[in-house]
Structure 1
Amino acid sequence: MPFGPFILQWRTPSPNPPKSTDLPSGITRTYVQTPSGPLELLSAVPFSLKDKPPLFFAHGGFGCASVWLSYMTYFSSRGYPCYALSYRGHGGSWYSSFWQMYFTSRHAIGEDLVAGIAAVEKLEQERRKAAEKVKVVLISHSAGGALSQYVLSKGMCTVQGFCLFAGVPAFGSWSCYTFWLLSAPINFYYRFFHSRYLLATTKQVHDAFFTTDTPTPVVKELERLLSPYESMCWPMQGLQPFVTGPDVVSRITGWRSRDGDKSHGPAGITPRFLVLAAEHDVLCTPPVMEDAAKRYRAAFHHCVRVGKLDGVSEHDARVEDDKDGELRDGVAYAIVKGLGHHLQNHVDWERGAEVVLRWAERL
């Protein structure tokens, strides 16, 4: 693709933020005002006020809030208040110039994520007439997973549940980019100057984000939502490890022991951390995600031993998995069969949603 630079967008979108697109019934758009600019926030709030935690969906690189529309409709119809944010330079949020975005740091984008979470906490507090802000359940995809681990590890926010949804692990992410290893040397100069060069065509988007049998119109629908350019600092700052494990786990609240029953599973600890993999993901592959789950399980039990998780004792946490004897309580791991990296945008997106729902019902 020698003429790639000429088909990619280098100019700031106009108007800025871009003109709003139509949304499905039941989903509304508002904006979170920040010192830098307005951020798009999509909401799907059930009419009935049920005792279900609010779900906050965080997109990955080149994504936006709209990649979660199917999940928002699915979960809100089951009583869950749903919210999804577009960071700066994505979706309907404000855009910086090409080079300003290129050098935007992970911390700056993390501040956008935290601003969105804070806004939702306030909205849910007012909606429920609660005395305190209501913590969200954070569901983060791809590079948004790495971003979420960063803000949690830095103590920038606290959540009542965290799903690493085919998300880039924070223990070093080199392995998530091996899919592009062979083409990277050929496209090095283009990649250096434009962050979207390896996702410039429908085929490239298809190969990286979907299974081989995914219909082209489905791929094009996601391609339409992708941002024209991206921060290069954001992924580069995650290549090396930047969390210890306990620093993330300790920012999740609500851990508690439970008695065994049919609705909540065996006796033990409520699993407030879910690591979710897609069977055919070529970026955050199942082995990569399973390794992350093992590391976070170890971190969970470390936090229990040193008393960082209120209401949980070592005795509560000593529940072993029958299959291989590994301690699995507190951190759940699951593989969604038949899907690729963008689980939420596949034809059979319900497969992943059903796994997340079963987990959310236990919180």
Structure 2
Amino acid sequence: MTVAMSVCVSSFYNRFPICSNSKVSSKPVAVLKMGVPYDLKQGQCRVFHQLPSGLNMEVIVQKKRRNVEDYPPLVFVHGSYHAAWCWAEHWFPFFSASGYDCYALSLLGQGESDVPADSVAGTLQTHARDVADFIHQQVRSPPVLLGHSFGGLIIQYYISSLGSNGLKENLYPKLRGAVLVCSVPPSGNSGLVWRYLFSKPIAAFKVTRSLAARGFQSSLSLCKETFFSDTMEDHVVKRYQELTKESSRMPLFDLRKLNASLPVPSTPNCPLDILVLGANNDFIVDAEGLRETAKFYGVSPVCVEGVAHDMMLDTSWEKGAEVILSWLNGLNK
């Protein structure tokens, strides 16, 4: 385990205070749970946010490299088999250089976060509440929430809870906007699975083997086909394969219970600007799933050419980042 992974919480707090009433855990950061370390890049710090349950949630932070006072902070939420590190690799340096404070969360049971006393990491509701608690305690102004895959579904639930009544408005802090990246649609993944079974049975078998049976963890070719473009070099795929294998110590959801609770409640007259972003080479979320999410929010989807499901890690990661940056610039006008 490398020393570079170890970041002192007190040093982070002094250099980059999050807010005056921070609940930052004093838990030793050198005690890591992932067997494969992710070395933070220059300007990045790791800290632990203590949830009301007493469990600690890993947060990777990179502050903006140029001072733009009115730009909203960005809070990133990963999907299954990933953790906060997936945003820190390329998109954190990109967005911090553009004037944005960046925070990436590892949901419970993922990355370096604590593991709850259950068979799964949580529910749609508990994950959304953990995100909301972090924003309430640690983020000074309404952020833009960005979610990938199942992280996008968590954000959709968060959005559905905004302002529905006075109590929930306090539980779920206001947002400046939201970006759904290759997101699972509001109805969940069951529609995706059935479409694949009828139209692409071989692809359906591969997806099931890769994700449900975790075949991507042992097969380099299946890992590449599931998450990345064909052009990504094998040694890079191997590194990400090892990180994804270590990132999830327990399932993010009980999928049967999750699908029984869907679709996400509708949000008529949604008060947020929302960007629905997809990838034309996505092996998991198909074009119909992308259109479903966009229609749900009354926006036009943006499909990025030449990238796969893990848009933030793929060989052409900058394509999606530039689309988001352009959307953010419009948000700031």
TM value normalised by structure 1: 0.69
CA contact (8 A) 1:344 1:352 kept: yes
Q: 1:246 aligns with which of 245, 255, 267?
A: 267
Query: Which sections of structure 1, spanning at least 5 residues, go unmatched?
Result: 1-13, 126-133, 253-271, 298-330
For the residue of structure 2 that corresponds to 1:113, the secondary structure is helix
Q: Does 1:176 align with 2:177?
A: no
Q: Does 1:137 align with 2:144?
A: yes
After superposition, the Cα gap between the structure-2 partners of 1:103 and 1:352, relative to the gap in structure 1 and judged at 3 Å, is closer
Which amino acid letter does the alignment assign opposite residue 52 of structure 1?
Y
For the residue of structure 1 that corresponds to 2:98, the secondary structure is coil
CA contact (8 A) 2:279 2:303 kept: yes
CA RMSD of aligned residues (A): 3.0
After superposition, the Cα gap between the structure-2 partners of 1:249 and 1:225, relative to the gap in structure 1 and judged at 3 Å, is farther
Measure how far apart 1:216 and its partner are. 1.5
Measure how far apart 1:185 and its partner are. 7.8
Aligned twin of 1:293: 294
Report which of the two structures shows the higher radius of gyration computed on alpha carbons.
1
Aligned twin of 1:166: 182
Alignment of 1:71-82 (within 5 A): 71-82=91-102
Aligned twin of 2:105: 85
Aligned twin of 1:153: 160
CA contact (8 A) 1:214 1:347 kept: yes
CA contact (8 A) 1:61 1:230 kept: no
Aligned length: 281
Aligned twin of 2:56: 38
For the residue of structure 2 that corresponds to 1:225, the secondary structure is helix
Q: Does 1:62 align with 2:81?
A: yes
Alignment of 1:199-278 (within 5 A): 199-201=216-218, 202-226=220-244, 227-231=247-251, 233-239=253-259, 241-246=262-267, 249-250=270-271, 252=272, 272-278=273-279
Measure how far apart 1:354 and its partner are. 0.5
For the residue of structure 1 that corresponds to 2:243, the secondary structure is coil
Deviates more, 1:334-343 or 1:228-237: 228-237
Separation in structure 2 between the aligned mates of residue 186 and residue 164 of structure 1, nearest angstrom: 25
CA contact (8 A) 1:31 1:41 kept: yes
Aligned twin of 2:166: none
Separation in structure 2 between the aligned mates of residue 103 and residue 77 of structure 1, nearest angstrom: 33
Measure how far apart 1:341 and its partner are. 0.3
After superposition, the Cα gap between the structure-2 partners of 1:136 and 1:236, relative to the gap in structure 1 and judged at 3 Å, is farther
After superposition, the Cα gap between the structure-2 partners of 1:96 and 1:138, relative to the gap in structure 1 and judged at 3 Å, is same
After superposition, the Cα gap between the structure-2 partners of 1:15 and 1:119, relative to the gap in structure 1 and judged at 3 Å, is same
Measure how far apart 1:293 and its partner are. 0.9
Q: Does 1:94 align with 2:114?
A: yes
For residues 320-352 of structure 1, the C-alpha deviation after alignment (integer angstroms, 9 at most, x for no partner) is: xxxxxxxxxxx3421111011000001110011
For the residue of structure 2 that corresponds to 1:342, the secondary structure is coil
Alignment of 1:9-20 (within 5 A): 17-18=33-34
Q: Does 1:26 align with 2:43?
A: yes
CA contact (8 A) 1:83 1:120 kept: no
Separation in structure 1 between the aligned mates of residue 207 and residue 155 of structure 2, nearest angstrom: 29
CA contact (8 A) 2:78 2:147 kept: yes
Aligned twin of 1:129: none
Deviates more, 1:195-204 or 1:276-285: 195-204
For residues 223-245 of structure 1, the C-alpha deviation after alignment (integer angstroms, 9 at most, x for no partner) is: 22222443263544443632243
Aligned twin of 1:350: 318
Separation in structure 2 between the aligned mates of residue 59 and residue 114 of structure 1, nearest angstrom: 15
Aligned twin of 1:339: 307
TM value normalised by structure 2: 0.75
Which amino acid letter does the alignment assign opposite residue 289 of structure 1?
L
Separation in structure 1 between the aligned mates of residue 103 and residue 183 of structure 2, nearest angstrom: 18
Q: After TM superposition, which residue ranges in structure 1, 4 or more long, deviate above 6 angstroms?
A: 183-188
For residues 157-183 of structure 1, the C-alpha deviation after alignment (integer angstroms, 9 at most, x for no partner) is: 231101111111113422333558658
Measure how far apart 1:283 and its partner are. 1.1
For residues 77-115 of structure 1, the C-alpha deviation after alignment (integer angstroms, 9 at most, x for no partner) is: 011111111011111211246xx2437333222232222
After superposition, the Cα gap between the structure-2 partners of 1:209 and 1:184, relative to the gap in structure 1 and judged at 3 Å, is same
For the residue of structure 2 that corresponds to 1:176, the secondary structure is helix
For residues 123-174 of structure 1, the C-alpha deviation after alignment (integer angstroms, 9 at most, x for no partner) is: xx2xxxxxxxx11101110000111111221335231101111111113422
For residues 45-91 of structure 1, the C-alpha deviation after alignment (integer angstroms, 9 at most, x for no partner) is: 12543121111111001111110011011000011111111011111
